[in-house]
Structures are given as structure tokens and as C-alpha cells.
A and B are shown apart, each in its own frame.
Chain A
Amino acid sequence: MLAWTWTRAAAAYPVSFTLMVGFGLMMAAVDLAVILVVFANTTALAGFTRAEVLFLYGAANIAFSVADMCVGNLDKISQHIKAGTLDTMLLKPAPAWLQAAVDRFTPSRFGRVLQSVIVLVTALAALDIPWQRAWMVPVMIATAGVIFASLWTLAGAAQFVLTDAPEVVNAFTYGSGQLTQYPFSVYGRDLVRGVTYVLPLAFVNWQPGLYVLGKDDPFGTPEALRFLGPVAALLLALLAALAWRQGIRRYRSTGS
């Protein structure tokens, strides 16, 4: 309902709203343009064709941009702490997490969602994936959404400690978005190990994507890992919920 209020507020200025969606599309287009320029120079990047990379990019980016639109404002929690608005949120009879997530909900970020959907549909049309494996596509997008939302929650929770340097969490949230734009075969073995077993970013689009594309993992992980995404996402979500609770518990208002 809070989100709807912000949407109505934004829609009160339809021209401005349309423009903002358009600008969101434009900003997202830069990442896409980079991929297209790369593939104007080569036909394969680390063993993946243009359509395959666009599929991985589209799938991850739908989840990333939806998470950014819905809970991306969690990383502004340090501003709420400094301004004292967090106290107000804690007093209201709705979860603080929900209030912080939808505060200043910006539907204009919808432009980015739209762009990723277009890219994914185009890539899927070019790839011709058999329906026996295509069922994984919605599963992986939902899994990825949970993973990104958990990351933002963790980022918000971390700011209870890091009120002085809130930007440091951007490296994790936006960095994860950047990381999952490309097949993990471009990255170093140790980095991929880290984002498989420590921070489960490999389950955003890499492991399930390999299954959809019918490819073997160049790093040689077992086949079973392709289907473990939902489990990993659930574990991360639990961890994020715990961290958030700890953050709220640690919080001491300065009073007024």
C-alpha cells in the first residue's frame, strides 16, 4: 500500500513519470551496449555466444532490477538512522523492513525491468531452448530475485554498523548485479569458487543457466549443483533475516 502511494505520487506527473521510465531504459541500455560492442569484435566470449550471454544477462537483470525497484532503498537505512526517521518507522504498526524497503519507492526503475524482459525474450527466441529445460527459466529468475533481495537486506543490516560509510555496501549489491551480467567462465577460478560456496551468486543465473543452455561447467562442478539454487536462496534469506533482526536489536535511538 505504501508502494502504491509512491506510485500514485509519481503518476501524478505523467510526463515526468514517462520520462523517468525512459531514462531508466537508457541507463540500462549502456550495459547492453557494452555487451553488443564486445560481440561486435568477437563471436564467442569465454565459450559463450552473444545470444547465450544475452540470455544470462537478461535473466539476472530482471531479478536484479525487480529487487532494486522493490527493496533497493534498504541501503539508505543509514540516512534514516542519521535523520531519525528510523524511530518513526519502528513506532508504526508495520514491519520496519517493509517500511524502509518501500520508502521513496521509485516506479521509474521499471524502465530497467522492461529492458531486461525485452533482452531475455529476444535471447530466448534466438536460442530455441527445448521445453524440457525451459521450465528452469522462471525458477531461476525467482531464485535470483530472492538472492538479490537478501543481499539488499544484508546491506541494510550492515549499515547499522557502518553508518559512516554506507557506500561500501554498493560494491556488494551493485557489484553482484555487474558480476552476473557475464558468464562466470570469464572470471578467475578462485572468484567463482567464492561466489558459489560463500556468497551464492552462482545460483542467480550461472548454475541454472548452464542447465537451460545444456552446457557443462568449465569449472567442473557436479551436475546436482544446477538445481540447488532455491536451497541456497532460502539459506541466504534466513541469514539476511537474522542479520536484519540483529541490526534492529542493536539500534539505539539517540532520542530527541
Chain B
Amino acid sequence: MWAAAAGAFTNSVFGILRAYVLIALWQAKPGLAGYDVLDAVTFCFVTQAFIGPMQLFGGGLTIPERIRTGDIALDLVRPASLQAWALSEDLGRAAYLFLVRGLPPMIIGALVFGVVVPSGAGRWAAFAASFALGVLVSFAWRYLIALSVCWLADDRGVVTVSMVLTTFFSGMMLPLPIFPGLLGDVAATLPWAAMAQLPADVYLGRAGFADAVPFQALWAVALLALGALGTRAIRHKVVIQGG
């Protein structure tokens, strides 16, 4: 509980600092990439609010720890799929963190700068769907990273690379539409865009249900399928030692 409050506080402080930089940028270039200043500020706080539930800095799964201790062997012989089991655990955690780490940064952003609040049940419903899919894509990605421990004894490298890719290409640092040229075009098609950029755009009403949800669903299915293959592979890989 206190840890979550501290996390919400940190996310809010960083949200305020980032918001100032975005305000300065949008004052220099009003209407850049179709956002106005208020949109940019809102974008900043919405993505800060996603950090907890979507675990944008990585982690959140207990699998790497369980692979190291060997508990994974027990998990694999359980009559439930490892992936489904980890997913249900992750969704529960995401729902809790949405409340304790998602709402405070939004409220602070609203108090300090003012933020856009979607009007109409339709936009809220679209946002809810897009947000849920964002969490799903994030889980599917982190599951793959977690499984990689099984092949690489030391996971710090993969974890770092994943963190760099996720923070930069999810739109958490800067909105992807302001990335220059080819970088922007490529970034918009990568799975990380499904994590923060698209749900935030749906929140702002810049992207509709049809723009975001099919793209996100596609990546969710693709990454979950890869995860299922990975689960099958580690079944063959795991050698239970001891007796």
C-alpha cells in the first residue's frame, strides 16, 4: 500500500516535470502533430498513469524468480496453463494498480495544469477497451521477456533492452507522432505503440475504437501466441534436478 503510494507520488512528480517540457515544446510549435497544449499535458499524465498498471518499466511477473529457484518445474506440472495463470495474476495486479497508481497522477495533473476529460459514454467505453488491450499487450510482451530467463542465465541484459524499447517506443516519453520521418512511421507500427500511445490517443479522442482496437488486438494475439509457443518450449527445456 505505502509502496504503491510512493510509486504514485513519483509518477506524479515526473509527470509534472515532463509536462513542463511538453508545454515549452508546444508553445514553440503550437498545434504540433495535431495536439494542442492541453492535449499534450493530458497525454503526459495519462501515460504516467499507465506506468503502474502496464508496468512500462518492465517486471511485475514472478516467473523469472521462479525459474531461478526451480519452482517453475512445479508450475509446469500444474493442470493449469502457465500463461493463463500468470495472465490472471497480472490482470488482478493491473486492476489494483490502476486505482492506486493510475488515478493519483491524473488528479494531480488536473489540479496543477488541467487535463482533458472525455465526454460521452462511447468515448469512455472505447478507452476502457483500448486500455484493457494495452495491459494485455504489455503482459504478453513481459511474459516473453520473463521466459527468456530460461535460456539466458542472466536476464539483466534482456530486461534493460526491453525497458529501453518500451519506455521510448510506447510514447511514454514523447508522443510517437512527433518522432521525425521514418522513425515515427516505424514506431507507429511496433507493438509498444499499442501500450501507451494508442490508449492515450483514444482517451483524447484523437483515435476512435476502429483505429486503435484492431491494431492492439492483432499485436495481443501475435505476442500471446508466441508466448504459448515459448511455454511449450520451456516444458521440453526444463530438467528437474534433485529428487
Residue ranges of A at the interface with B (Cβ–Cβ < 8 Å): 16, 19-20, 23, 26-27, 29-30, 33-34, 37-38, 40-42, 44-46, 164-168, 170-171, 174-175, 178-179, 182, 185-188, 191
Contacts and interface: CB of A to CB of B under 8 A. Distances in A.
B20 A188 contact: yes
Contacts of A45: 21, 24-25, 28
Interface of B: 2-3, 5-7, 9-10, 13-14, 16-18, 20-21, 23-25, 27-29, 32, 154, 156-157, 160-161, 163-164, 167-168, 173-174, 178-180
Contacts of B28: 42, 44-46
Contacts of A187: 17, 20
A47 B23 CA distance: 13
A42 B25 contact: yes
A162 to B, nearest CB: 8
B25 A40 contact: no
Contacts of A179: 17
B10 A23 contact: no
B180 A40 contact: yes
Given A167-B10, A174-B10, 16 more contacts: A19-B157, A23-B156, A26-B164, A37-B178, A42-B25, A45-B28, A46-B28, A165-B6, A166-B6, A170-B10, A175-B14, A179-B17, A182-B21, A182-B24, A185-B24, A186-B23
A45 B29 CA distance: 10
A250 B232 CA distance: 54
Interface of B is mostly: helix
B20 A34 contact: no
Given A33-B168, A41-B178, A165-B5, A175 B157 contact: no
A175 B160 contact: no
Contacts of A37: 174, 178-180
Contacts of A34: 168, 173-174
B180 A41 contact: yes
B164 A30 contact: yes
